[in-house]
Structure 1
Amino acid sequence: MFKNYLPQLRKNTRRLLYPLLSVTVVCGILLSSIPATQAISIPELIFRGIQVIQLSTISDRQEVNIGKQINDQMVGREFRLHRNRDLAMYVNQIGQRLVQTSDRPNIPYTFQVVDDSRINAFATMGGFVYIHTGLINAADNEAQLASVIAHEIGHIVGRHSIQQMREMAIAQGVASAAGLDTNRAVQIGVELALRRPNSRSAEFEADELGIINLGRAGYAQEAALDFMAKLLSSSSPPTFLSTHPATRDRIEAMRRHIDPQLAGQSGGMNDQRYRQVVTQLLS
């Protein structure tokens, strides 16, 4: 009769053994990366093991969670948001319109206005996009503003922040076989968002994704080229242009992605209406 229970016993043993081996492996990896002088309890190791993420297989939920933590670290510490909620709602309305026609509409996006007169915009993982008031003021119309927002959405669609984070973690030697600790991931994310430009290939991909999405959303695609040319020809081009690939090359590359069937599309090109709206909202 005992023999009849042997298969079930072996099965139950395997169920208990595999999770135990997984915890042991994680703890072993973490122990190998901790200085001998630093004493950490087994429960703490297990806790830290749970907090380790694999950037190569990061889920949408994990990405959004890390993006939120990066956002919490930056807002109010690295910069402040503009006080006018109506301005934030206006930018969010444009952003959400573009999200719906993007190649990655299945995560929540957060569009925020940074109270800064410099012409700039940036994004981090998990759908967080930041637009400076200086850029809003510099745009001639809504389509030009939308072109920048579409470009930043392109970075999120391309998961460029995750790629940069992986590369930086490896370069700094903080990524282990188990992955990257989320606290360190947040620190790297803040550094990337504020002080590290995207790679040349990432910028060109975001340009391509952005201008295609701009047309899908009903905006004039030519606005993206017009705005970039305007910034390039200004007496003091924005700093971010000097850290990005050659602007003229980007303009020519974007021109190749304009859809001829949308050439007559003029959505968002009313300069006068845009100026009335932003003048009121920025005051």
Structure 2
Amino acid sequence: MINWKNFFSNYSFFPRSWFYPLISVTVALSICLTTALPTPALEWLPLLLRGVQVVQLSNMSARQEMALGEQINEQLINSDVKLYRNSAINSYVQQIGRRLAAASDRPNLNYTFQVVEDDGINAFATAGGYVYLNTGLLKTAENEAELASVIAHEIGHIGGRHLIKQMQRKAVNEGLLTATGLDASQAVKIGVELVRNLPSSRQNEFDADKRGLKTLSRAGYAQSGMVSFMQKLLSSKRSTPTFLSTHPATGDRITALQKSIAAQPSSRREGLDTTSYRANIRTLISRQ
């Protein structure tokens, strides 16, 4: 008998439209022909034969989460998110991102770090390892440690599976969850809506800060980078940056970070060289 669990693991979370119904029918026929089904199992046959794609948000695997993140990413970059295509800047950001990802809570995800062409000071993350950083944020950071601190914070959101949990709450509130899960297309739609309509919760921000600070430290960057970047933005004469206005309780977060650093200080001081950082983003700065 075919091991269907192993068979399905070789395919994408979002199968091709022609392929899923074929597999569904095949599975249903195989079950009927080879197994004496108890009554509850018969309830699955109509679902299989209809070829419905469903998502179980509560126990989603890493593979499924990465596939969901990919679908959300496609929606974003094909609509209102314009990626910055400079290869040198993207390579630099990806280098920092990979270093941090390896030191994160979930190092086995296939992370994707992308620069968004937008002068607003903002960054965000979706599901499955997708992190986005505005060009305005790169230009505002004073050194690599500050930039790394923002990336680490966003990786912290992924480590805490914050978007997935928000999606589950929204699906429940809107009555979209069924006994079998959530329709895949609805899952993508909800994910995109949540990304576009932050803020995140106070609890999620503190958790992402905590996880991000640990990641930053394990990667060897100066812990002070996370605090100094937030302080810089708070004291700025410009209007409140999106990165702070969508991430509430910034003053309290700074205090919590300072306490965490005092409790577990690190001697690593990498990433504080402003000259080196400016040299790495010179093609971006030259556009100002």
Q: 2 CA distance for matches of 1:215 and 1:183?
A: 38
Runs of 5+ unmatched residues, structure 1: 1-11, 31-41
Aligned length: 255
Match of 1:198 among 197, 200, 208: 200
Root-mean-square deviation (CA, aligned residues, Å) is 2.1
| 1:210 matched to 2:212 | yes
Given the alignment, which residue of 35, 39, 50 partners 1:16?
35
TM-score (norm 2): 0.83
Letter in 1 for 2:179: A
Letter in structure 1 aligned against 2:102: Q
- From the superposition, tell whether residues 131 and 124 of structure 1 become closer, same or farther in structure 2 (CA, over 3 Å): same
Distance 1:172 1:133 in 2: 35
1:67–1:275 Cα change, 3 Å: same
AA partner of residue 41 (structure 2): S
Identity across matched positions, percent: 51
Query: What are the superposed Cα offsets for residues 46-67 of structure 1, whole Å, 9 maximum, x if unpaired?
Result: x00xx11111111111101010
Return the alpha-carbon distance in structure 2 between the equivalents of residues 183 and 23 of structure 1: 25
| Residues 268 and 169 of structure 1: CA distance in aligned 2, closer, same or farther (over 3 Å) | same
Shift of 1:13: 8.6
Rounded Cα–Cα distance in structure 1 between residues aligned with 2:282 and 2:177: 47
The answer as to whether partners of 2:119 and 2:135 remain within 8 angstroms in 1 is: yes
Q: For residue 223 of structure 2, what is the aligned residue in structure 1? A: 221
Q: Distance in 2 between matches of 1:13 and 1:177?
A: 22
Alignment match of 2:80 (pick from 63, 78, 81): 78
In structure 2, distance between residues paired with 1:275 and 1:232: 22
Give SS of 1:95's match.
helix
Deviations 1:202-254 (A, max 9, x none): 11000000011101101000110000000011112203422322211000111
Q: Encode CA deviations 1:143-169: one digit per residue, 9 max, x unaligned.
A: 000000000000000000110000010
Greater than 6 Å deviation, 4+ residue runs: none
Which of 236, 253, 258 pairs up with 1:255? 258
Contact 1:220–1:267 under 8 Å retained in 2? yes
Change in CA separation of 1:261 and 1:277 when aligned onto 2, cut-off 3 Å: same
Q: Contact 2:217–2:266 (CA<8 Å) still a contact in 1?
A: no
SS at match of 1:116: coil
For 1:137 and 1:173, locate their aligned partners in 2 and report how far apart those are by CA, in whole Å: 43
Partner AA of 1:98 in structure 2: L
Q: TM-score, normalised by structure 1?
A: 0.84
Counterparts of 1:53-132 in structure 2 under 5 Å? 53-132=55-134
Asked if 2 retains the 8 angstrom alpha-carbon contact of 1:86 and 1:281, the reply is no
Go from structure 1 to structure 2 and tell me whether the alpha carbon gap of 1:197 and 1:18 turns closer, same or farther (over 3 Å shift). farther
For the 8 Å contact 1:212–1:258, the answer to whether it is kept is no
